[in-house]
Chains A and B, each alone.
Chain A
Amino acid sequence: MSGRQRVRAWIAAPVLGLFAALLGWGFSGAPAFGAFHGAYGELLNRIAVPQRHSTNVVTAIVFDYRGFDTMGEEFILFASVVGVVLLLREMREPAGDQDDPVTSDAIRLFGLVMMSVVVVAGLWVAAFGLVTPGGGFQGGVAIAGGIVLVFLAAGYRPWTRFGSQHLLDPLEGGGAAAYVALGLAALIAGAPFLHNLLGLGVTGTLKSGGSMTLLNWAVALEVAAANLVLYTEFLESYLVPHLSRR
């Protein structure tokens, strides 16, 4: 340790000690581990299944009781992705005929198998969002992660078929618009915004939850497309200009 570092350590030590003491004092007043005092949660736990026919109470809260908040969250994602696109797409030169083929058969095969497994798992998590833990957000990110494996396992050429802005931009906007459209449909029908209009279906099946099912798929579409747009922009801006020209 040089002299300068020693001086820095001496200055930092009392400040860090102070923060550690503050943290310890704060934790000493915290409730016991696992203790929960929220009356709202207990209430929803009791009424959500009979009221909304969804066995996953979290999804019932996210898409119904707190559906308006979720719309805000969806548009946070939408706006941030639009920001990334505005920043990166403007500065970029159009990609030429670069390619970066993967030559190993083992990687190609493994990537293909993993891609189908991950995409099916993502669809499954999204589809069963109203029955078991999961939902559109988690499923959407998994689907996007599965599709981006095409780039990792097969190279840039096959990837451009999925990572095209002409395909992804409308899908992303469409997912966000579908959520708002479902909310407005309730308004037109004379009910409050995002009111659960459709029949609630049989508890514990894929068709349970009424409008929540459609909202769930709208979010899955929006999240999957938003993630893919994000990956595409990063790949096109940072990797593709450095690939070897053919």
Chain B
Amino acid sequence: MVALCLDPLRQIFLSGVYGLLLVLLFVILQAPDVALSMLVVSTVAYPLIVLIAISRTRRERGKE
């Protein structure tokens, strides 16, 4: 689904949702430590880096 969605901004939200699903799976499987790691990485660190890159490409496209 992430690959089928063409807008980068929507892709990053979708991948965040998948991260959250994985967190829920880890919680259900009684691995709270892994769930916490996944939570902070998939919802904080990773989207932030990608969002910065996306905003850069948008600015450059706006200039053209």
Query: Which residues of A line the B interface, CB within 8 A?
Result: 34, 56, 58-59, 125, 133-135, 137-138, 141-142, 144-145, 148, 227, 230-231, 234-235, 238-239, 242
Q: How far is the CB of B48 from chain A (nearest CB, A)?
A: 6
Q: How far is the CB of B38 from chain A (nearest CB, A)?
A: 9
Interface size for B (C-beta < 8 A) is: 18
Q: How far is the CB of B15 from chain A (nearest CB, A)?
A: 17
Is the pair B36, A138 in contact by a Cβ cutoff of 8 Å? yes
CA distance A138 to B44 in the complex (A): 11
CA distance A142 to B42 in the complex (A): 11
User: Using a CB-CB cutoff of 8 Å, which residues 32-64 of chain B contact chain A?
Assistant: 32-33, 35-37, 39-41, 44-45, 48-49, 52-53, 55-56, 59
CA distance A227 to B45 in the complex (A): 8
Q: Which residues of B contact A56 (CB under 8 A)?
A: 33
CA distance A135 to B37 in the complex (A): 9
Is the pair A148, B40 in contact by a Cβ cutoff of 8 Å? no
What is the predominant secondary structure among interface residues of chain B facing chain A? Answer: helix
Is the pair B33, A134 in contact by a Cβ cutoff of 8 Å? yes
State which of A58, A142, A145, A239 has its C-beta within 8 Å of the C-beta of B33.
Answer: A58
Is the pair A145, B49 in contact by a Cβ cutoff of 8 Å? no
CA distance A168 to B35 in the complex (A): 27
Q: Closest residue to A62 on the B side, CB-wise?
A: B33
